[in-house]
Amino acid sequence: MLPELDFRNLAFRRDPHEEYAKAREKGALAKAKGLDAYVVVSHAECESLLKDPRISLDHFSGAGFSADHPMQRYFQMRDGLMLFANSPRHEDLRNPARSAMSSRLIRRYEESIRELAQEAIRKMKQKLVTSESVDFVREISVPFVSAVICKVVGMPAQDHSLLAGMTQKVADGLDPFGASHDLAQAGEGYVEFQDYMREQLALGCWTQEANEFADSFLGDLAQCPHMLGDFKSSADLISTTVMLLSAGHLTTNHSLSLSVRSLLTDSSQQNVLKDGTITPHLVEELFRYHTPAQITRRRVTQEVEVAGNVLQPGQALWLSLVSANRDENVFSNPQELDFSRKKNPHLAFGGGQHFCLGVHLARLQLRVFLEELAGQFPKLRVEDSVDDHNLVFRGLKSLRLSLT
């Protein structure tokens, strides 16, 4: 009998690690309670299956809905985003963007990201002078991450609130236990944002400030709206841009806010933000420990054996990256933050052909912001925090900080 994991249980969503550890003691595979879905909980099996061509992204069709049904926009989103695309569609969307998101090209943004981090921290200081506390998520992290991803992609910074709204709708719609209206709103947010981009390009609004972001992902497009690079259509370019904006905004915001909370509340790590050095090992450990993208849902396309169990085509398979990153067979003391951890083969950025396209940008943002934050607020403490219980994305809805 395989252990069962109750994803509808809010206590489990709030802190799943104990239940995952119990499941790993019994093997690499568990069942999702009340659903016909297997859950992969071990590092070795998750890593292998992320690269297995017999495992496909879990694709849904809108065939059961009328053409004008609100849900059709949700399925339009799924058809358009790289996140849901299998080969060869996935390569059509990803390959033209690969070089622009390389480590070498992303490094050119470090100075700009540092300036944006400094600006965010100045705002935080001013807020703590005039108010008793600051909501780090809403007032600091979200605006900072929004400004960075807008800068990198080439979206006007003043429109970042549109990005934040669309991103939240998409995130709510990806939770398999969310309300049905969340799905419709996710599709609505995606289509609205596509329309916004088309309107801006048609009006030539971005060309007015082309020099400001000429080195951005959309820099060439801003100067010549008909240039598509290696994209096959303007629709492909827009959908990939929306993907970069939404994914880069959501997961990086979660990583940053979760990291700050841990560094302020973990008694063994409280000196890091007082006088510590932010090392690459520290950054990787924070990604491992928090794993903002918790689960990726797949489907078996050919018979495959997983941990001694033969799964047939059509079987739903959930790869729990958050469990894999706490696997005792791979990580010593996996439930603890250990910034001296040298070997850290975490799966926070996924693996295989869907390995996170924005990995270098995510690492750079977290490192630079923590470097700028370190030493600024010796008496900073957490007053309160509210977790976001989204099954797919782990993060905070709020993180209230004070100096008293």
Does the pLDDT at position 329 exceed 90?
Answer: yes
Does the pLDDT at position 219 exceed 80?
Answer: no
Q: What is the pLDDT of residue 330?
A: 98
223-264 pLDDT, tens per residue?
444 556 677 877 887 788 888 877 778 899 999 999 999 999
361-401 pLDDT, tens per residue?
999 999 999 999 999 999 999 999 999 988 888 999 999 99
At position 68, the amino acid (one-letter code) is D
Pairing of strands 37-40, 316-320: parallel
Per-residue DSSP letter, 336: S
Domain boundaries in the chain? 66-291+337-402
pTM exceeding the 0.85 threshold for the entire prediction: yes
Higher model confidence: residue 21 or residue 10? 21
Residue 159, classed as helix, strand or coil, is helix
39-63 pLDDT, tens per residue?
999 999 999 999 999 999 866 666 6
Cβ contacts of 37 within 8 Å, gap of 6 or more: 31, 297, 316, 317, 318
Q: What is the pLDDT of residue 211?
A: 46
**Host H or E run for residue 30:** strand 29-32
66-291+337-402 under CATH 1.10.630.10, yes or no: yes
pLDDT over 90 percentage in the chain: 57
For residues 188 and 97, what is the distance between their CA atoms, to the nearest angstrom?
A: 25
Number of residues assigned to the chain: 404
**Host H or E run for residue 119:** helix 110-130
Pairing of strands 395-402, 37-40: unpaired
153-177 pLDDT, tens per residue?
777 777 777 777 777 787 777 777 7
Average pLDDT of every residue of the chain? 87
